[in-house]
């Protein structure tokens, strides 16, 4: 099909590509939310301190370095299922096994083993993201980048309800090893998807040599715009989600410290997130078809900043179930759309010929704050308290907005 032809809204929504984006989002998000929500909640219940839990964010370092091995996955094709789907299946099977294995470790006896296995989950998850992002970029025509990535992100965030809601509720009734096995089984969604879809490109042309796979994507990115504009784009990718990522790094321990039970967190917070994510997906579909990516970055960036302040209000009010639902719903609705706009911006900035490595670089930079800055969030909270911590996160969200003047100015609206 013509990848630049403007589609009707019906054509954009009602096609198989959008359904595939639902499944790529779910299977991509599930492992991250295991590390991001279930593991911190598990460790907190088992008596691990906030500082140690905060430093656990460092096990996610593969997300920040995945561009180092993405050329390898781009260059070589496994002898089954094709250029992208072979790597999808391998990483998804490894994720299923490693997530299930986590629950058989006792954190009070061997916290380091938990850290090592969590790092393995992060490595397999980051590797899966490399190939899923590349597949989605090859699958979607340019005019569907905004909508497709909006659907992907909302499904990504909906997947967090499995470890973050179902997992926590189950933990009130079952041993942790049963909980982790059940959550790991949801990786079958991605495995089944991989087996039934086709390759996005019927006859892919991977780089001829590993050297070409490493050098050409970076040469292309800098050559298209120049060194200084390229550096500004990379800085923007780092700062745009900095405040939001830090604010949600210890979300489950925060809810526990405020005074909510695990069942309340699972039932109230996550059900509110489910409703907001569904609404956000529909709104995102409307918005990302009609609204240019630049303007979406501006509008949803403001919503991100406001949503962080909601956590500060909850910290002051205490265990108020209604406020918990409102804060989580707003965070899911607004910040999810901001993530969709950012990923669409990344996809638009890539050359489809080098999608795997360029997207790995871009998404790695965007994840740096979640990994390294989040590692010190526990120390910051124990020093300043929750309210001041969220105010700091709000301030850290501002630099990314200021960089929009250079990388995605409002006046250049017709950019997609």
The CA distance from 77 to 199, in Å, is: 12
Whole-prediction pTM value?
Answer: 0.73
Helix or strand run (H / E) with residue 231: helix 227-239
Highest mean pLDDT among 5-14, 162-171, 242-251, 406-415: 162-171
- Could you tell me what percent of the chain has a pLDDT over 70? 88
Q: Indicate if the pLDDT at residue 356 is higher than 90.
A: no
CATH of 9-407, one of 2.40.30.20, 1.20.1050.140, 1.20.1250.20, 1.10.10.10: 1.20.1250.20
Residues 6+ apart with CB under 8 A from 335: 244, 248, 300, 303, 304, 307
The pLDDT value given to residue 370: 64
pLDDT at residue 14, as a whole number? 59
For residue 210, pLDDT over 80 is answered with no
Residue 282: is its pLDDT beyond 50? yes
Flag whether pLDDT at 2 surpasses 60.
no
pLDDT at residue 184 above 50?
yes
Residues 6+ apart with CB under 8 A from 89: 80, 81, 191, 194, 195
Calpha distance 170→180 (Å, rounded): 10
Average pLDDT over residues 39-55: 78
Select the more confidently predicted residue: 103 or 283. Answer: 103
For residue 371, pLDDT over 70 is answered with no
Residues 244/404, Cβ–Cβ less than 8 Å? no
Cα distance between residue 256 and residue 319, in whole Å: 9
Q: What is the distance between the alpha carbons of residues 124 and 163, in angstroms, rounded to a whole number?
A: 17
96, 184 in Cβ contact below 8 A? yes
Predicted confidence (pLDDT) at residue 13 exceeds the cutoff of 80: no
| Interval 221-246: pLDDT, tens | 888 778 888 889 888 988 888 888 78
Q: Is 405 exposed, middle or buried (0-12, 13-18, 19+ CB in 10 A)?
A: exposed
Model pLDDT, residue 305: 86
Instruction: Based on DSSP, count helices (H) and strands (E) in the chain, helices before strands.
Output: 26, 0
386 neighbors 254 (Cβ within 8 angstroms): yes
Judged against a pLDDT cut of 50, whether residue 416 lies above it is answered with: no
- Between 251 and 11, residue with greater pLDDT: 251
User: Residue 413 pLDDT > 50, yes or no?
Assistant: no
Interval 103-128 mean pLDDT:
88
Distance CA 356, CA 126 (A): 12
- Give the residue with greater pLDDT, 355 vs 28: 28
Higher pLDDT, 155 or 366: 155
Tokens representing residue 114 in the block: 């938990």
List Cβ<8 Å contacts ≥24 apart for 372-375. Answer: 372/57, 372/58, 372/61, 372/64, 373/242, 373/245, 373/246, 374/54, 374/57, 374/245, 374/246, 374/249, 374/250, 375/54, 375/55, 375/56, 375/57, 375/58
* 113 has a pLDDT exceeding 80: yes
Stretch 50-59: mean pLDDT: 73
pLDDT at 389 over 50: yes
pLDDT in tens, 127-140: 999 999 889 888 88
The whole-angstrom separation of Cα 4 and Cα 260 is 49
Lowest mean pLDDT among 50-54, 283-287, 358-362, 385-389: 283-287
C-beta neighbour count of 143 within 10 angstroms: 19
Q: What share of the chain is helix, strand, coil (3-state, %, to 5)?
A: 80, 0, 20
- In the predicted model, is pLDDT for residue 329 greater than 90? no
**Sorting pLDDT into bands at 50, 70 and 90, what band is 191?**
very high
Q: For residue 159, what is the DSSP state?
A: T
More confident residue, 415 or 59: 59
Farthest CA pair distance, the chain? 60
Does pLDDT of 192 surpass 90? yes
The tokens describing 255, both together, are 């809810």
């Amino acid at each position: 099909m013509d990848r630049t032809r403007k589609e009707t809204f019906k054509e954009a929504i009602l096609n198989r590509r959008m359904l595939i984006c639902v499944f790529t989002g779910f299977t991509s998000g599930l492992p991250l939310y295991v590390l991001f929500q279930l593991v911190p909640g598990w460790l907190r219940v088992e008596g691990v301190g906030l500082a140690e839990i905060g430093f656990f964010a460092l096990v996610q370092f593969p997300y920040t370095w995945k561009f180092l091995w993405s050329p390898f996955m781009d260059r070589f094709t496994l002898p089954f299922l094709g250029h992208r789907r072979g790597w999808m299946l391998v990483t998804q099977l490894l994720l299923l096994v490693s997530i299930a294995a986590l629950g058989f470790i006792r954190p009070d006896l061997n916290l380091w083993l938990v850290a090592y296995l969590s790092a393995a989950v992060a490595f397999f998850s980051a590797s899966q993201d490399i190939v899923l992002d590349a597949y989605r970029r090859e699958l979607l025509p340019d005019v569907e980048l905004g909508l497709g990535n909006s659907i992907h992100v909302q499904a990504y965030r909906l997947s967090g309800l499995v470890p973050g809601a179902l997992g926590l509720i189950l933990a009130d009734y079952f041993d942790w090893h049963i909980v982790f096995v059940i959550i790991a089984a949801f990786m079958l969604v991605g495995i089944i998807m991989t087996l039934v879809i086709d390759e996005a490109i019927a006859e892919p042309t991977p780089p001829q040599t590993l050297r070409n796979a490493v050098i050409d994507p970076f040469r292309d990115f800098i050559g298209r715009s120049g060194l200084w504009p390229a550096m500004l784009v990379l800085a923007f990718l780092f700062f745009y989600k900095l405040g939001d990522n830090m604010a949600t790094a210890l979300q489950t321990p925060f809810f526990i410290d405020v005074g909510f039970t695990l069942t309340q967190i699972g039932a109230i917070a996550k059900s509110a997130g489910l409703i907001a994510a569904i609404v956000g997906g529909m709104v995102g579909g409307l918005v990302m078809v009609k609204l240019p990516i630049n303007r979406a970055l501006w509008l949803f960036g403001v919503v991100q900043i406001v949503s962080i302040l909601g956590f500060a209000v909850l910290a002051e009010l205490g265990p108020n179930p209604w406020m918990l639902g409102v804060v989580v719903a707003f965070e899911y609705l607004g910040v999810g759309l901001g993530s969709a706009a950012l990923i669409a911006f990344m996809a638009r900035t890539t050359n489809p010929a080098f999608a795997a490595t360029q997207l790995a670089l871009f998404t790695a930079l965007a994840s740096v704050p979640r990994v390294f800055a989040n590692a010190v969030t526990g120390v910051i909270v124990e020093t300043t308290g929750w309210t001041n911590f969220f105010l700091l996160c709000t301030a850290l969200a501002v630099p990314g907005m200021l960089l929009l003047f250079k990388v995605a100015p409002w006046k250049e609206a017709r950019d997609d």
